[in-house]
Amino acid sequence: MSSWALAAWLMLGGSTVLLFIGMPVALTFITVNIVGAWLYMGGEAGLMQLARSSVSSVTAFSLTPIPLFVLMGEVLFHTGLALKVIEGVERLIRRVPGRLAVVAVVAGTVFSAISGSTIATTAMLGSLMLPVMLARGYHPTLATGPIMAIGAVDMLIPPSALTVLLGSLSGISISKLLVGGVMPGVILSIAFVAWIVLRVKITPSLAPADEEGAGHVGWARWQPFFAYVLPTLSIFGVVVGALANGWATPTECAALGAFATMVLAAGYRVLTVEAVMKSLRGTAGISGMILFIILGATTFAQILSFSGASNGLVQMITGQGLSTGMIIAGMMLMLIFLGIFVDQISMMMITLPIFMPIVQTLGIDPVWFGVMFLICMQLGLLLPPHGLLLMTMRGVAPPAVTMGHIFKAVVPYVVMSLLLLAAVFFVPSIATWLPRLIG
C-alpha cells in the first residue's frame, strides 16, 4: 500500500471509526490530528505546528458572522418576538386545508430569514404549535412533519451559521453561498405548503376544518403582520440586501443584522437584562461548540495535504475516466449516506479536504457545488434514524407522538428535498442566478 493511501486510511478511517463509536466531534478530530501531526509533520515539531494552526484557525476573521447570526435568533426567542411573529402569520392565513400546518411552514420560513439555528427553530415551533395542532385533532404525522422540514430549510435561507462555516472551511465565497441558498430555500417552503394543502384535500381526516383564523377581520387581522412580521422580515432585507449589493461584507452584514434585531427588541420594550443575558449565554454555548470543532477541522485538512493523501485521492478519482457529472453525483450520494450516521459538521470535516481539490481540479462552479452540499446537509437533518431534527422533535413532542409517527411524517419532505437536489443538479441557475447578481 502506498504511503498516501496509508495516511488516508489512518486519518479518514480513524476519524470515521471514532465518530461511529460515539466520541464527540471535536475530540475525534483533535485526537486524529495529534497522531497525524506526530507521524507526518515531524514529531514534536509537528505538534508545535498543530498548536499554531489550531490557534490561527479559530481567530480567522471570516468566522465572525457565526456568533452574530446565532445571536439574532437567540434574541428573537428570548424576548418573545418569535411568538408575536407566529401570531401575525396565523391571523393572516385562513380557510386553507391544514391551516395550522401551513402556518408552521410560513412562520418557520420567516424564522429562517432571521435566525441562524435550525434546532432552535424546530424546538420553538414544536413546543408552541405541536400541542395546539394535536389538541385540535391534527394527525401526528401532519403536525410534526412540517415543523421538522421547515427547521431544516433554516440552513438554506440566510442568515445561517452552518453556511458561513461551510464557506470558511471550503474556501467558497461566503456571501455568494449565503445568497445562493435563498431561492432553493423558498422553493422548498412553497413545495411544503403545496404538499400540505394537497394531502389534506385528498385525506381530510388528517386535519379537521379549522375556522379559528376567521375570527379576525379587517385591521385586526392585518395589525400583527404590520406590527411584528414585517418589521422582523426587514432585518432579512437589511442582511441580504447589503450582501447582494456588495455594500457590506458577510461579517458587517451579520453585525448589522444583530444590531437591527437588538434595536427592534428595544423598540418593542422587550429587551430586558434577563433576555439579553440568556441570549448571550446561548450564543456563547453554540458558538463555542462550533469554534472548538473548527479548531480540529483546519489542521485535519493540512495533515491530509502534507501526507500526500489529498493529492493521491484526487488523482485516483479524476483518473477513473468518469464524467464531471458522475463525479459530482457520487459526491452527493456519499454526503446523503453520511447524513444518515453523522452530524453536519462531521460531514464537512470528513469530506471537504477531499471534495474541494476535486472541485478545483475539474473547474466546477464552487457556489453551485456549495449549495448542493447545503441541501445534502439539510437532508441529513431529516434522515432517519439519527437525524438531529427528528431527535429534537422527539424531545419536545408529547408521549402520544411516537418515533414511528415522526419517521413517517418526515418521508414526503425528504422526497421533496431530494427532488430539489436533482433540480439544482440539472438546472444550476437555481443556485447561481442570485449570486451572479453580486458579481
Q: What amino acid is encoded at 121 in this protein?
A: T
Q: How far apart are CA 325 and CA 30, in angstroms?
A: 34
pLDDT of residue 439: 62
pLDDT of residue 301: 67
Cell digits of residue 302: 493540512
The runs of H, that is alpha helices, within 154-181 are 161-170, 174-180
pLDDT of residue 427: 94
Count Cβ atoms below 10 Å from residue 231 Cβ, excluding itself: 16
pLDDT of residue 341: 64
Residues 6+ apart with CB under 8 A from 56: 298
Where exactly are the structural domains of the chain?
3-438
Does residue 76 contact residue 115 with C-beta atoms inside 8 Å? yes
Q: How far apart are CA 199 and CA 306, in angstroms?
A: 54
pLDDT of residue 419: 95
The per-residue DSSP string of 343-366 comes to -HHHHHHHHHHHHHHHHHHHT--H
Q: How far apart are CA 104 and CA 101, in angstroms?
A: 5
The DSSP element (H or E) to which 216 belongs, if any, is: none
Which of 270, 240, 271 is closest to 257 using CA atoms?
A: 240
Does residue 376 contact residue 336 with C-beta atoms inside 8 Å? yes
* CA 322 vs CA 5, 328, 329, 332, 368: distances in Å: 21, 10, 11, 15, 20
DSSP state of 52: H
CA atoms within 13 A on the CB side of 135: 5
pLDDT tens, residue by residue, 196-218: 999 999 988 888 876 555 566 67
pLDDT tens, residue by residue, 250-272: 888 888 888 988 999 999 898 89
Contacts 24+ apart (CB under 8 A), 325-329: 325/425, 327/358, 327/362, 328/364, 328/369, 328/372, 328/425, 329/425
Positions in the chain short of pLDDT 70: 1-2, 19, 25-26, 57, 62, 115-117, 120, 210-217, 293-294, 296-298, 301, 304-305, 308-311, 313-314, 318, 341-343, 385-386, 439
Q: How far apart are CA 285 and CA 120, in angstroms?
A: 13
Q: How far apart are CA 160 and CA 147, in angstroms?
A: 18
pLDDT of residue 239: 82
